[in-house]
Each structure stands twice: as C-alpha cells, then as structure tokens.
Amino acid sequence: MLQRHLSVVSMGRLWIPVVLTLLAFGVRAGSLTAQSFWRDEVDALCYAHEFPYLLIEALAPGRAGALPTPCACPPPPLPTDWAGGTLQERIVGLLGAMIRQNGPLYYFLLRGWIVLVGYSEYALRYFSLLFGVLCVPLTLALGTRLMGRTAALVAAALTALAPYMVWYGQEVKMYTLVPALVLLALYGLRRGMDGGKIWWVVPVLATTLLLYTHIWGALLIPFQILGLLVEWPRWRRHWRGALISMALITLPYLPLALWQAPAALVRRETGFPHYSLGEMALILLNGWSTGILGQGWPWGALVCGGAAALGWVRLLSRSATRQTALFLSLWLGFPLLVIWFISLRQPLFTDRYLIWCAPAFYLLIGAGWMVLTSKTRGHEGKSFGNVASLGLRGMWLLALLAVFTWNLHTQATVPIKSDVRAAAAYVEARYRPGDLLIFQIPHIRYTFDYYFGPTEYLWADGLYTNHRTENGVYRLSEDAAGRWMALIVGDRRRVWLVASEVEMWDERNLVQGWLETVFRRTDEAHFVRIDVYEYQR
C-alpha cells in the first residue's frame, strides 16, 4: 500500500511539470506565425548567413565563395576587408564586432537550425519557441531549490503563460535563449552550493555561452558573485568549488571589462529614450504582468506586483528564507540599477534586454501564492481556513487569467508588428514587370523581399531628407529632392511607394509629395505600420 501511494505521488510530481511544459508549447506553437516578421527578425536571418560566412572568410580569405542569402540583406555590420591583416587580427576584429552585435552564438546556432529545417516563418520562430518552453522546467527546477515545489510550480505556470514570455518565444531573436542560459547557470550555482561538486561546472559553461549570446549577459557575472556573498552560510563548506567556478567565469573576461569600462561612462546619444529608474521599473512591471501591449493596465500590474510584494515580505520575514529574498532582490534589482546608471550618460534601456530577470519576478509571485493559500484567523482565533483561502486564490486567479487571456488573444489575432507580409502580398497580386518599387524607409525592403514572390524587380531607396545644418535649416531643399526623384524614377510608367516609419527618413514627406505631383495615384492600401501607394503617369 505504501509503495502504491509513493508511486502515485511520484507520477503526480512528474505529470504536473509535463502538463505545464506542453501547455507552454501549445500556447506558443498555435499562433507562431500570427505576426509578420519585423526588421530585427529578418536581420537575424541575414546575420545567421553572414556571420558564419565572414568567419570562414577571415580564416581563409578568398575561399568562402559567394554569400547566399534567402532574401535581400543589409550590409553586415562587421569588417569584410581582410587585406594585410594577420590571422589573429582578423579573428579578433571579427569576433569583437560580432560581440558588439549582441554576440554571435545565437546566429551560429540559428544557421545550423536553418540547415536542418529551412527558413520559413514557422521554422525560424520554432527555434526560439524551444528555448522559451525550456524555461518552464528550468524555472521549476530552480524555484524548487529556492523556495519549495508549490511556489516553483506557480512560477513555472506563469513562465509558461505570461504574454510577455510567449511574445518573445515567437520571435526570431535570442531573447528566449538568454533566460534559459541564466536559469541553467543559477540552477548549477545552487546545486554547487548544496554540495554537488560537479555542478560548479554548469555556471561556468552557461555563463560563457551567455556572454556570446547577448552583451548584457555580462551582468550575470557580478550578480553571481553577489549572490554567493548573500548565500555564504550555504556554501562555506564548499568554498573551493565556488572560488574556482567564479575565477573561471571572471578572470578570462576581466581585461576586457577593464578595457570597456570607460566607454560605458561616455556621454552620447544612442537613439534610445531617456527613462528614469522609476519609469524603467514600471515598464518592466507592466510588461512582465500583462505583455508587450499592456492591456489591463494597471490591474494586471497590481495583481502580479501585489502578489510579488507579498511573496517578498513572506520570504524576508522568515529566517529560513531571508537569503532567498535577498537573492531574488539582487536578481531583479542589480541588472536594472547598472543599466539605469549607464543610461544616465548613454540611454540603453529597453525592456527585452532584461527578460532574464522576469523569472525572479514570477518566483516572487509564487511565494506570494503561498501567502494566499495560508490559513487566515479571526479575532477570536477561529480559523477561516479553506473559505478565506479559497476566496483569495479564486479572485487572484480570475483576475490573472482575465489579463493573460486578453493579452494572449490579442497577440495571437491582431497584427501588432509592421504587417509587411500583408503589404508584400498586396503588391505582388498587382505587380507587373517593369514596375519600380520605392522603399521609404529603405530598411523595410529586406523584410518586404522575404515575403515578395518575384525574385528580380526594380527597386530604389527613398531619399533621406532630414539632414539639417547647425542652424536647423534642412540641407536638402524641396526642389533638389524633386530633381533627385526625377533621376531615380526616370521614365518609369508605374511606381509603387512602400512606406513605413517615414518620419525617421523624410519628415517633410518630400518623396511622396513629388510622386503626388508628377504621377496620378491609382491605388493605395494601409496596413499596420506600413502603407502602399500605386502611381501611374
């Protein structure tokens, strides 16, 4: 009888994580291609071809052959001329440039994936889906070590269903690989603290891979050191393994950190908005609670943020879990404070850079769930027990499910990214050989080309007209822009204008203004963040 009971318990402990993992997969896979590619995703596809090619070219100049890409690609943001350089100079120069592009590892892995499954929308995004789903059991494993199984299950369920995590699990970028590596590193760190000698290898490997995946992954190194200081009583008997592990993580990159540190304090404009620390924290709270759209604000943030605050207080109030509360606080706060400090001189904050801190937030919510499930007692000491506990849990769950369902449904059914896919299909259905396609802004062409059927067509970049003198006067006049447009268009009888984020390139709208004057507009269509116009003489 006892053996049968243990078997049932064991099966239950296994099936719940399996169900959560399958649920995470289903939520992501069911709407994997709901959104059109946006330019960063096509850039990732291009880098997956360009980075390995350029590495081969650096190792053996002139032997890589022609670079094949599945669509039109921007020039790689890497050095391409190896004349006169030594092998070491070529490799160091190339890898340094790759690291500045958030690391080469994801692009090399994606290139291997493309060889196996192709480069359809579904195939490319499936790669990110896999790492996003992997975050669920990793959150469960780490959370169980930190605060017990029940709180960890809640955190794993949030990781599986949070609209924010689902969104980035459906994008061709490294933003699911990053939290997967962080969770793996921290799990290995925790197992090492608890006496698993071989586990000290895991943080070394996972952190090293992270450094070549995203540039902000470097913050995991000082965070792990601070985490060890907080958890000193846990690992003091195993200090040799901890010191060796941290030395292997830190020492190889210390010269690079000292070399790059002054650059982080230089004042410069980066194109990122200026945010205060409070604004950054609020953006993260809203995103992790409701998703990238923020539907349900502020109720979703109150539901999740309130539960996380309850969990933090609960952990901090108990001596047995106080170190865990400090560890999670560091996980949430330290990377944010560093980015805020650097952004005082050069704004660099965007919420997805800190996606690897979201599991700490969900773990705190899991601890808050434990508060909601604890029994409540009245003034006479009588237990309200199950009634009060059930009511609190029910209201919290209903509110959370409402916010999650609303945002997940919108992400899966409403175009949110620039709908280049629909725009390309519209032009393709009406395109005739000899038509000229003008792209304003030019970068939209690479995404358009991915979807556009004809492989050969006439195209031109729209004019950049926003240059100004020191006195604020535009350098390009309207007449000069007209002369340039006349040269670009020539004697073409039919011209398409594909316009997206025009104000970044042509805030006076001179390109379309000239077309409206010289041609007759015969058709137009408007999609999310992209417009298409057809002109004939």
Q: pTM for the complete prediction?
A: 0.93
Give the pair of three-digit tokens for residue 409: 């449904």
340 and 233 in one domain?
yes
Q: 247 pairs with which residues across the strands?
A: none
Q: What is the pLDDT of residues 379-412, one digit of tens each?
A: 444 444 566 667 778 889 999 999 999 999 999 9
Of 119, 148, 174, the domain-final residue: 119
pLDDT at site 307: 95
Q: 527 pairs with which residues across the strands?
A: 530
Of 396, 413, 430, the domain-final residue: 413
pLDDT at site 369: 92
Report the domain count for the chain. Answer: 3
In which region does residue 509 sit, left (phi positive, over 0), alpha (psi from -120 to 50) or beta (all else)?
A: left
Q: 535 pairs with which residues across the strands?
A: 495, 521
Tell me the pLDDT band of 372, cut-offs 50, 70 and 90. confident
127 and 101 in one domain?
no
Taking Cα atoms as reference points, which of 194, 197, 221, 196 lies closest to residue 207?
221
Give the pair of three-digit tokens for residue 478: 């309207």
275 and 409 in one domain?
yes
* Cα(486)–Cα(495) distance, integer angstroms: 12
407 and 301 in one domain?
yes
pLDDT at site 382: 47
Q: Are strands 436-440 and 458-461 parallel, antiparallel or unpaired?
A: parallel
Give the pair of three-digit tokens for residue 488: 């670009």
388 vs 339, more confident: 339
431 and 323 in one domain?
no
pLDDT at site 92: 81
264 and 126 in one domain?
yes
531: DSSP letter:
E
CB 260, CB 211: distance < 8 Å: no
Q: Are strands 530-536 and 520-527 parallel, antiparallel or unpaired?
A: antiparallel
Of 75, 92, 119, the domain-final residue: 119
* Cα(411)–Cα(33) distance, integer angstroms: 11
402 and 301 in one domain?
yes
382 and 355 in one domain?
yes
pLDDT at site 3: 54
pLDDT at site 82: 66
Q: Are strands 520-527 and 436-440 parallel, antiparallel or unpaired?
A: unpaired
Domain assignment of residue 94, given as a range: 39-119
How far is Cα of residue 183 from the mean position of the Cα atoms in its chain?
15
In which region does residue 472 sit, left (phi positive, over 0), alpha (psi from -120 to 50) or beta (all else)?
A: left
* Cα(506)–Cα(232) distance, integer angstroms: 58
pLDDT-above-70 percentage for the chain: 94
CB 373, CB 311: distance < 8 Å: no
CB 181, CB 213: distance < 8 Å: yes
Tell me the pLDDT band of 10, cut-offs 50, 70 and 90. low
396 and 272 in one domain?
yes
340 and 232 in one domain?
yes
481: DSSP letter:
H
pLDDT at site 12: 58
428 and 376 in one domain?
no
Letter for the amino acid at 306?
A: G
CA distances for 320 relative to 234, 317, 363, angstroms: 11, 9, 16
* Cα(394)–Cα(131) distance, integer angstroms: 31
Taking Cα atoms as reference points, which of 171, 27, 162 lies closest to residue 106?
171
DSSP H helical ranges for 344-419:
358-372, 385-413
Rg, the chain, Cα only: 27
Write phi, then psi, for 323 (nearest 5 degrees): -65, -35
75 and 169 in one domain?
no
Q: Is the pLDDT of residue 65 over 90?
A: no
* Cα(534)–Cα(67) distance, integer angstroms: 33
- Name the least confident of 138-152, 367-381, 495-509: 367-381
